[in-house]
Structure 1
């Protein structure tokens, strides 16, 4: 399969952005270029919704520049999509004709339902919630969907966004004018209440787009969050109120210096935050999560799922797909990783049978992913493979997994000894109970021992049984073939499995 370069131009009401995606042979999507300009096309619409020639010239200038970039990268497919500002323009045909004739780009005008669909598509294929509400607030419109069992049930496009809210309520007023904010809150609340299917749904809300990303970034800095990235980051009502109170308390120059807030959103961030708070209250949501994947990713994912028979982006098997692709990116040997997982399963089952662990499907999932990714950092540098493994996994957006699960997998996959484990978990200790920390350390030891049992990569160990004797335990390792390497490594790593038992462990290799 050849690598694909897909150029997507998102012509929004507030910003115009070019993203060039590259898909590799493992179906991983990477951004090789990401450029935006705050064109604010919506401000060029007059009261009759006609875009001025000045606005059209701004659009053409940006698109000419972006087209040159796509030509430089030699993109395979170019998708220039236009949303609310062009969609709501009475002269949209004239705009599109000018762009086609003078720039050589045929814009794709997205209907409201398609804009909602693509944002939802990205969320459904990159997050784990089966049921939820998505919100994508742009400059001139706000798309909201309700999905159940990962299928859209309802959608609505509201004819307001951060730019229109600013125009409606803050014209000639300060960005944080209390009366303007109150009027805006009442207006947004009334708009949401008009859509009956939103009321008291009590499902998580997933927010996407630049405004959502900025709020998440600011909140992470306020609470000294210990992990990078906002995809999958969760907030609650008090956190949303915390960021809104902060934005209201700061002047525009102070907002421009605020860590995490994009400078071109300083006058628009309060309207966005108010919309999120109001929707949270209307839905009675249990939590508010941010998705770094939205309209642009949804368009590209659907295109690739339609193009390839194997559907590269899964709806229900997201986490496993993400883990396997991460492993492939670092040249993990699939047959070795699968054997390690099989050995870990055998060991875990035996420890559960002995009552040392209680069988738990969530624990098994983390064990599978941690053992599959074990020491993938060897690809970077063998001498520091544990450190590289923890860094790579903990700083990767693992779609379909929570941030806590990501750290758990990173701890398991990088396990070398208790000292390094304690060093890695230190910034995240508040996320885990003492019992959970101890169990992760024990499970990491099991993975390390399982890795030793396939030292030759020849799959010689066929089965594992543990039985109690009068002095401790016997571990029978049933094998076929030459077990010289495994015998040596197992003795060296026995401490990791022996310390789970209340007695001495005898390791007995038995040929079958």
Structure 2
């Protein structure tokens, strides 16, 4: 069910973008339209920070076009927000008045602290780290925040972005001029050092925005990364240096043909990469990762949380919400998935009691998610449920879940047999030890057996006990109701439990 269709126009210093979100009853944010134009409004500011009429006309032309698109989509709410280029303009009141008169659009001018707040808000609600530094580098400003235990502690807006850095250090010079790059590095380093709370924080850095996304995309192509999407993608110091070295080694025409790099960022990507490298060093960060959720998503998330009394997005239940939403997107029956999780929990507890597994909270979390999403790919095609399930989950942005965890969940949710697991693992074998692979295969078998003993979807199995006997084990399934389907499927899938236990396995159905 469609709750709302929200249009957000992000009027940045470098680009202007319209994103239209459809919000369903699960608060899933579907992007139904995403268009941009590299207006580069910052170039229309003179030395006194006054925007020329030419720049204002460019802005009005773009907004008229975007408003007609939003009208076509019949958005319920249109949110036009302006950042550094308009904020820093000495004639901003005139710009806002002209836009209002000629387009009917009332621009919301975001103060520095609100721009930083919204980017941070998106990160807090979509990433797993409880503490970290966020950075959002735009065309004319760079917002940096520090959060601890999922609460914003500090923020600062630096009056430079990729466009201004280009103007300051590369005017009349090549995009990769070594002396210009060195001077820029020194300038950025001094800027970051002036903010004492940044120094040696030793927490993850989360980057958002188009420049960050381009760097992550390029790096993924360079290392032949198998997963889609940059949300949650991790890079380290040597990775950031690798992309910077690559960008410096290429001419503008070569950069325009570089796979993963947006053509309108070719002359701006070196300043962005330098800023990220410098911040990494200043913070002494353990990891640098990317979020595809930023200012725009933060604005919409806060709007929905305010309107629906904080029911839309949680900072502490991110992964579970994300799993629930992808399940709903593929029409998973919630009561069937919940019963499967319940049965998996019972089996896992009994196997832990018998010493087959050691209790592990992280593995339990993956087991829950994998069992909840089991065979969600059957919505695409029943005959290839396993294959579709693995592909969908492994290539979906799951908030609050790392890329390795995403693959692990995909392996569990798609489990059919061990040979398919090995097939899916091609390209990921260096992510797992042999022991971890064997454990994932065993847990996948538990999920498959649990699904079998809920074959009728009537929730007939009420409890499970495993008792050791002289020759093996008895698996006792306590039930209420008709178990015809469950009896048949349990016998067919018994091997997945039998493999974990020594000796003979007797399956006993006991009515209660």
Q: Distance in 1 between matches of 2:305 and 2:159?
A: 30
| Contact map agreement 2:390 2:413 (CA 8 A) in 1 | yes
- 1:26 Cα deviation after fit: 1.8
For 2:127, the equivalent position in structure 1 comes to 127
Residue 67, structure 1, aligned to residue 67, structure 2 = yes
- 1:311 Cα deviation after fit: 2.0
For 1:304, the equivalent position in structure 2 comes to 304
- 1:330 Cα deviation after fit: 1.4
- 1:25 Cα deviation after fit: 2.1
TM-score (ref. length: structure 2)? 0.99
- 1:474 Cα deviation after fit: 1.4
SS, match of residue 427 in structure 2: helix
5+ long unaligned stretches in structure 1: none
For 2:143, the equivalent position in structure 1 comes to 143
For 1:275, the equivalent position in structure 2 comes to 275
5+ long unaligned stretches in structure 2: none
- 1:310 Cα deviation after fit: 5.0
Q: How many residues align?
A: 512
Q: Distance in 2 between matches of 1:310 and 1:142?
A: 29
1:394-409 to structure 2, matched below 5 A, reads 394-409=394-409
For 1:492, the equivalent position in structure 2 comes to 492
SS, match of residue 3 in structure 1: strand
Q: Distance in 1 between matches of 2:334 and 2:155?
A: 41
TM-score (ref. length: structure 1)? 0.99
Deviation string, structure 1 residues 218-261 (Cα, Å, up to 9, x no partner): 00011111110000000000000000000000000000000000
Deviation string, structure 1 residues 463-482 (Cα, Å, up to 9, x no partner): 11112222111111111222
Indicate the larger mover: 460-469 or 291-300: 460-469
SS, match of residue 400 in structure 1: coil
Residue 320, structure 1, aligned to residue 316, structure 2 = no
Q: Distance in 2 between matches of 1:244 and 1:187?
A: 17
| Contact map agreement 2:2 2:22 (CA 8 A) in 1 | no
Residue 438, structure 1, aligned to residue 435, structure 2 = no
For 1:172, the equivalent position in structure 2 comes to 172
Deviation string, structure 1 residues 453-508 (Cα, Å, up to 9, x no partner): 11111111111111222211111111122211111100000011111112221111
For 1:209, the equivalent position in structure 2 comes to 209
Q: Distance in 2 between matches of 1:231 and 1:444?
A: 26
Deviation string, structure 1 residues 21-61 (Cα, Å, up to 9, x no partner): 11012211011111100000001111111111111111111
Q: Distance in 1 between matches of 2:302 and 2:286?
A: 29
Q: Distance in 1 between matches of 2:49 and 2:89?
A: 5
C-alpha RMSD of matched pairs (Å): 0.9
SS, match of residue 216 in structure 1: helix
For 2:391, the equivalent position in structure 1 comes to 391
Q: Distance in 2 between matches of 1:103 and 1:458?
A: 57
Q: Distance in 2 between matches of 1:423 and 1:91?
A: 61
1:238-317 to structure 2, matched below 5 A, reads 238-309=238-309, 311-317=311-317
